[in-house]
A and B are shown apart, each in its own frame.
Chain A
Amino acid sequence: MSTTVIPEMPGQEIPAESRVNYLNASYGVKSWLLTTDHKRIALLYLGSITLMFFVGGFFAVLMRLHLIEPQGALVAPETYNKLFTMHGVIMVFFFLVPSIPATLGNFLVPMMIGARDLAFPRLNLLSWYIYIIGAAFTLYAVISGGVDTGWTFYTPYSSTFSHTSVIPTALGVFITGFSSILTGLNFVVTIHKMRAPGLTWFRLPLFIWAMYATSIIFILGTPVIAITIFLLGLERLLHIGIFDPAIGGDPILFQHMFWFYSHPAVYIMILPGMGVMSELITCFSRKRVFGYTFVAFSSLAIAIISFLVWGHHMFVTGQSIYAGLIFSVLSFLVAIPSAVKVFNWTATLYKGSISYDAPMLYALGFIGLFTMGGLTGLFLASLATDVHLNGTYFIVAHFHYIMVGGAVMAYLGGIHFWWPKITGRMYPDGWARFAALIIFVGFNLTFFPQFVLGYLGMPRRYAVYPTEFQVLNVMSSAGASILGIGYLIPLIYLLWSIRYGPIAGPNPWGAKGLEWETPSPPPTENFEQIPVVTEDAYDYANVGGSRG
């Protein structure tokens, strides 16, 4: 806290407690469960996905404990298979996909564009209920014995051979998809129609561009996974011969359909993180984002190209080598806009005024881990090396660097950055920086050895493994225990800060952006008067010139 400047703002002497804001405007369970306030819905999501994160994380901890011994230290192979499946399903569909869009996006999209709410507030509440119903089906599947197909649900194993709760899990994923579609729809309409006067497209914060690109994928991609899961359910229940070769189906067709959504879904998880990143880097270096238009358009480029690379998951399925070539070249192409973003963030720091508050440490951690994750993707886009690395721990390490090192770091950075806005309170900065460091170290110790394991040839999803892989597995498990503690620390001090944290004030970081020009926590209607925007985003060079 010592490094944080709390600027004096005239007219803000009223303590947060006595002022009416979105948190204290009404009380009671009903006022939350029937709210149409985008900020309260964001908090409903925050609570739900945090629960899912720790459920999914618990499964990961059990897996890493089990893998300390080559013959498996903890559970039977069938149980292990259920653990990695439920870890994947919960983390991907119930944490990562909704993480930033449904919490920070819901909270910030209207505030950043100077609107009083999203375009369709009741639809927004409906999307949370749909998410909860989907999550309930999946948690029911967990309790009713679990599911063991892997989060990828590959046929014909999932359609014909698995004896576990495939249908409830699939139904959960199917249902929760609709909440993504509704959120995406809501964001697109809101961003198009509800921007404050003067807030042109190229004055928008880059977080909004990222949310816009993500929403496009939500709307175009999610129906495909819904259809795929629906057909899988039909095949499993009625044996109509879509995916099962024994009755005339094609098991590879499932993979095409699954990855047509699930590869863009990777960008659903990382694009919002990139948006958060642009906000954090610019605020804590007090510089306009270097190459604003390049960063903005790279988000759209990623959203579009991401729909054309699905075949790189299938290089070793017996796919034609010419198809392999095309998917390989497109996969390299999708890497370029990501590289452009990293270079621009780095250049933003140049001649800046850099402070090391906790959100900035998460942001710098993101750049490092995302760079590693992105570059190791080159190994997998390269046909000749993918043949060896596909299906091994190299893949596991690569996508965890992107999704955990990237998306989760950005999510935590964003939560720490906007926490004072959301709750009106500051958390202990020392603890937050300590947690960022622990997470960074624990993460690398967990997942770096897995790159080596993959290159050595250890396949993923192995409940037992040859002894020569043990040293690296023990290192990975040791890292996971550090990472697990790293994730618990923020949970504790953030909850503590809600009650005991010092009052944050409207703009503790001295940040630009409309959301910082309203009190913390904001009033229900966000702004007393709809602001008029007269300057570009991130105008840190002009001290006093906020708005006319």
Chain B
Amino acid sequence: MITGLMQTVFNDRAAAIAAVAIPIHPTSASSIADSVDHLYYFLTAITLFFTFAIFTTIFFFMVKFRRRSPDERPADTKTHLALELSWTIIPTLITVVIFVWASSLYFENSRPPEAATEIFVVGKQWMWHIQHPEGVREINELHVPVNAPIKITMTSDDVIHDFYIPAFRVKKDAVPGRYTSLWFQATKIGTYHIFCAQYCGADHAEMIGWVYVMSPSDYAAWLSGGARNESMAQTGERLFTQLGCVTCHVADNTGRGPSLVGLYGHQEKLRNGDSKLVDETLIRQAIVNPNSIILPNFPPIMPSFQGQINEEQVLQLIAYVKSLGAEERKTNGK
């Protein structure tokens, strides 16, 4: 009982201390967080060193060379070329070190691993719409498994937003009309902030959410829990039929439009002679502004679907087209 009481007192103390203590370090919960922090500490050390060096030099000079009589006339100091060159060249070398370090880290952090699971995010004044490939959809909440690479592909329905998870040290703008992406691998089970870090209007500060990092088994349970959803590709296929895409884009290439089987991930020659990689951005463009990317041998007759379907539905259609590509690769393999 005494220990219990002590426990309570201790907890209260700890809570009280935590309440007044000034936080100085953010939680780090991703595979890149520590390496970003190391660079941050190095830069902090450089900043402190130079600030301290300049402050102490100035204070020393201020005291040592203070004016002792009003008619004092100190002699000229000659300009010192070696000194000028050294305080030009040494800082330059230091910045080269920082540049190489920061850039190589950024390169590493920019490339998602091949095996990453892709999750889709649409920013919208003032909420985050999130879709998992398995079809589960959530708002302002993102459930991910721990220790698994996750690629977030995002766009916006209206203005520019920015998807920011401080604990993971990742951030990227969600820009209307194009896809951007970031990736992370969460390393600690827990709950972390999602912030919108690009000012987006009245409730910008309320456009926040939580990432739930779960153990793989909890995540699997969460995915299968609740109403049974169809996958994003399946929803996309349903849309493909509902919107009538299927009447022209016939799989055996006998329709008025090209067959979409196997298109994803290929370089395609366009009517105007350009060769373009069929990726998410190109498929989106083909849906909202079809006549800008016409394949040879097909007439420019496809209507635009801009305004008729939202960004989440576009993503579902893309997931469906991507699944067609995967099917073909499987068939080719056989």
Residues of A whose CB lies within 8 Å of any CB of B are 3, 5, 77-78, 81, 148, 150, 154, 156-157, 160-162, 245-246, 248, 250-252, 285-288, 290-294, 316-318, 321, 324-325, 328-329, 332-333, 335-336, 339-340, 342-344, 346-347, 349-356, 364, 367-368, 371-372, 375-376, 378-379, 381-385, 387-388, 390-392, 452, 455-457, 459-466, 468, 471-472, 475, 540-541, 543
Residues on the B chain within 8 Å of A463, using CB: 204-205
Verify A246–B306 contact, CB threshold 8 A.
yes
Verify B74–A246 contact, CB threshold 8 A.
no
Contact residue among B40, B70, B164, B201 (Cβ-Cβ distance under 8 Å from A379): B40
Verify B61–A150 contact, CB threshold 8 A.
no
Contact residue among B43, B54, B84, B107 (Cβ-Cβ distance under 8 Å from A367): B54
Verify A347–B204 contact, CB threshold 8 A.
no
Residues of B whose CB lies within 8 Å of any CB of A are 20-26, 35-36, 39-40, 43, 46-47, 50-51, 54-55, 57-58, 61-62, 65-68, 70-77, 79-80, 83-84, 87-88, 91-92, 95-96, 98-99, 101-103, 105-107, 109-110, 125, 158-160, 162, 164, 166-167, 169-173, 175-178, 180, 193, 195-206, 208, 289, 306
- Bound: A455/B83 CA distance, A: 35
List 19 other contacts, CB 8 Å, given A290-B77, A382-B43: A81-B201, A81-B204, A156-B176, A157-B199, A161-B201, A246-B177, A285-B65, A336-B95, A344-B84, A347-B83, A349-B61, A353-B66, A353-B67, A354-B66, A354-B67, A387-B171, A457-B164, A461-B199, A543-B73
**For the complex of A and B, 4 pairs with smallest distance between CB atoms:** A457-B166, A245-B177, A382-B102, A383-B106
Interface of A is mostly: helix
- Bound: A248/B96 CA distance, A: 40
Residue of A with least CB distance to B205: A462
- Bound: A350/B202 CA distance, A: 54
Verify A390–B102 contact, CB threshold 8 A.
no
Verify A384–B106 contact, CB threshold 8 A.
yes
Residues on the B chain within 8 Å of A465, using CB: 205
Verify B43–A318 contact, CB threshold 8 A.
no
Verify B197–A392 contact, CB threshold 8 A.
yes
- Bound: A152/B184 CA distance, A: 30
A–B Cβ pairs within 8 angstroms, 15 of them:
A77-B205, A154-B198, A245-B176, A371-B51, A381-B99, A384-B106, A385-B40, A387-B106, A388-B36, A388-B170, A457-B195, A461-B204, A465-B205, A471-B22, A543-B73
Verify B175–A78 contact, CB threshold 8 A.
no
The verdict on A385 contacting B43 (CB below 8 Å), with A316-B172, A352-B61 known, is yes
Residues on the B chain within 8 Å of A464, using CB: 205-206
Residue of A with least CB distance to B192: A457
Contact residue among A248, A251, A318, A384 (Cβ-Cβ distance under 8 Å from B36): A384
- Bound: A455/B50 CA distance, A: 20
The listed residue with most B CB atoms (<10 A of its CB), out of A375, A388, A475, is: A388
The verdict on A77 contacting B72 (CB below 8 Å), with A245-B176, A378-B46, A387-B106 known, is no
Contact residue among B36, B67, B91, B110 (Cβ-Cβ distance under 8 Å from A336): B91
Verify A388–B22 contact, CB threshold 8 A.
no
Verify B26–A457 contact, CB threshold 8 A.
yes
What is the CB-to-nearest-CB distance from A194 to chain B, in angstroms, rounded to a whole number?
28
What is the CB-to-nearest-CB distance from B212 to chain A, in angstroms, rounded to a whole number?
16
Residues on the A chain within 8 Å of B199, using CB: 81, 150, 154, 157, 460-461
Residues on the B chain within 8 Å of A154, using CB: 159-160, 198-199
Residue of B with least CB distance to A337: B88
Residue of B with least CB distance to A471: B22
Verify B171–A385 contact, CB threshold 8 A.
no
Contact residue among A78, A291, A335, A352 (Cβ-Cβ distance under 8 Å from B95): A335
Verify B106–A353 contact, CB threshold 8 A.
no
- Bound: A461/B200 CA distance, A: 10
What is the CB-to-nearest-CB distance from A409 to chain B, in angstroms, rounded to a whole number?
14
Verify B46–A288 contact, CB threshold 8 A.
no
Contact residue among A349, A378, A457 (Cβ-Cβ distance under 8 Å from B58): A349
Verify B47–A375 contact, CB threshold 8 A.
yes
What is the CB-to-nearest-CB distance from B201 to chain A, in angstroms, rounded to a whole number?
6
Verify B177–A77 contact, CB threshold 8 A.
no
Verify A352–B200 contact, CB threshold 8 A.
no
Verify A384–B22 contact, CB threshold 8 A.
no
Verify A346–B102 contact, CB threshold 8 A.
no
- Bound: A540/B92 CA distance, A: 32
What is the CB-to-nearest-CB distance from A146 to chain B, in angstroms, rounded to a whole number?
13
Residues on the B chain within 8 Å of A325, using CB: 103
- Bound: A456/B27 CA distance, A: 8
Residues on the B chain within 8 Å of A321, using CB: 106-107, 110
Residue of A with least CB distance to B174: A318
- Bound: A157/B196 CA distance, A: 14
Residues on the B chain within 8 Å of A328, using CB: 99, 102-103
Task: Give the number of A-B contacts (CB < 8 Å).
Answer: 272
- Bound: A178/B204 CA distance, A: 33
- Bound: A351/B21 CA distance, A: 45
Verify A371–B54 contact, CB threshold 8 A.
yes
- Bound: A73/B71 CA distance, A: 56
- Bound: A540/B75 CA distance, A: 8
Verify A342–B177 contact, CB threshold 8 A.
no
- Bound: A252/B198 CA distance, A: 13
- Bound: A340/B206 CA distance, A: 44
Residue of A with least CB distance to B35: A384
What is the CB-to-nearest-CB distance from B330 to chain A, in angstroms, rounded to a whole number?
32
- Bound: A384/B62 CA distance, A: 39
What is the CB-to-nearest-CB distance from A390 to chain B, in angstroms, rounded to a whole number?
6
Residues on the A chain within 8 Å of B195, using CB: 457, 459
Verify B166–A353 contact, CB threshold 8 A.
no
The verdict on A388 contacting B193 (CB below 8 Å), with A336-B91, A459-B164, A461-B204 known, is no
Residue of A with least CB distance to B108: A384
- Bound: A288/B205 CA distance, A: 52
- Bound: A286/B70 CA distance, A: 11
Residues on the A chain within 8 Å of B84, using CB: 291, 294, 340, 344
The listed residue with most B CB atoms (<10 A of its CB), out of A285, A316, A364, A392, is: A316
Verify B102–A383 contact, CB threshold 8 A.
yes
Verify B177–A387 contact, CB threshold 8 A.
no
Verify B177–A376 contact, CB threshold 8 A.
no
Residue of A with least CB distance to B49: A375
- Bound: A148/B201 CA distance, A: 7
Residue of A with least CB distance to B177: A245
Residues on the B chain within 8 Å of A246, using CB: 176-177, 306
What is the CB-to-nearest-CB distance from B153 to chain A, in angstroms, rounded to a whole number?
11
What is the CB-to-nearest-CB distance from A35 to chain B, in angstroms, rounded to a whole number?
38
Residues on the A chain within 8 Å of B180, using CB: 317-318
The verdict on A391 contacting B204 (CB below 8 Å), with A378-B47, A471-B20 known, is no
What is the CB-to-nearest-CB distance from B104 to chain A, in angstroms, rounded to a whole number?
8
Residue of B with least CB distance to A472: B22
Residue of B with least CB distance to A338: B91
Residues on the B chain within 8 Å of A350, using CB: 61, 65, 77
- Bound: A456/B71 CA distance, A: 53
Verify A332–B173 contact, CB threshold 8 A.
no
What is the CB-to-nearest-CB distance from B28 to chain A, in angstroms, rounded to a whole number?
10
